[in-house]
Amino acid sequence: MQDLFSLKGRTALITGGSRGIGKMIAAGFLAHGAKVYVSSRKAEACDKAASELSAAGTCVSLPADVSSVEGVHGLAARFLAREDKLDILVNNAGAAWGAEFDSFPELGWDKVLDLNLKSPFFLTQALIGPLRAAAKDRVAKVINIASIDGVSVAGQETYSYGASKAGLIHLTKRMALRLAPDNIAVSAIAPGAFASDMNREARDHADAVAKMIPAGRVGTDEDMAGAAIYLASRAGDYVVGATLVVDGGVTHARG
């Protein structure tokens, strides 16, 4: 029981790991002993984040744009040049787009669906070799970062975002059924309000946002890291296809 949440000796890759939720997860994994690769589209930001995170353990920067299948394959190739096993893949990179129904653009649809829904599938596919290699010794993990907007309907007109996250939750179930026999556990996290560049309301107006959350506050780094560590560690080995909602009770309040 003492090592239930240990990640010692494990290797993780986190997309969108240079900031926000991805960086929170990276910090948590490092604190529990994992070697972490972080990836993001902007190389300078990725390198800076990896340098900062390295104070807590081994963190390597692998900049990549995973919004296209070509970019996905490029990231997989760069990872495979360094490692032959992957214990934990966190599909976190994402985008959002808000616009009124009458003027919602095709660009806002395709950009969000490609990054939020298409890329997690094809990156997992591209890295299935090292995931299976790791799974020979212990359960390998794929953790998809969804959103409470994929569980219940948000008030904002973010049509493609909500649809992409709902799709990702369903995809998590389908992938989990396929990969469980390979000793790979696929699960998801559906975050609520966490301070980040994507959720600037929670970042810049935390007090106002907190009034709409039953728990009375926005999520902290520890809240997100704790959920991810649970799923990534031995403690979460029997969690297959489930989505862990981490939102302070918001989805229940939405009714």
Q: Looking at the annotation, which residues are catalytic?
A: 161
Question: What span, in angstroms and rounded, lies between the C-alpha atoms of 240 and 172?
Answer: 9
Query: What Cα–Cα distance (Å) separates residue 152 from each residue in 27, 35, 41, 166, 212?
Result: 29, 35, 29, 9, 15
Cα R_g (the chain), whole angstroms: 17
The answer to whether the beta carbons of residues 157 and 201 sit under 8 Å apart is no
Count CB neighbours of 216 within 10 A: 10
Say how far apart CA 18 and CA 81 lie, in whole Å: 21
Q: Of 144, 150, 171, which is closest to residue 254 (Cα–Cα)? A: 150
**CB–CB of 55/132 below 8 Å?**
no
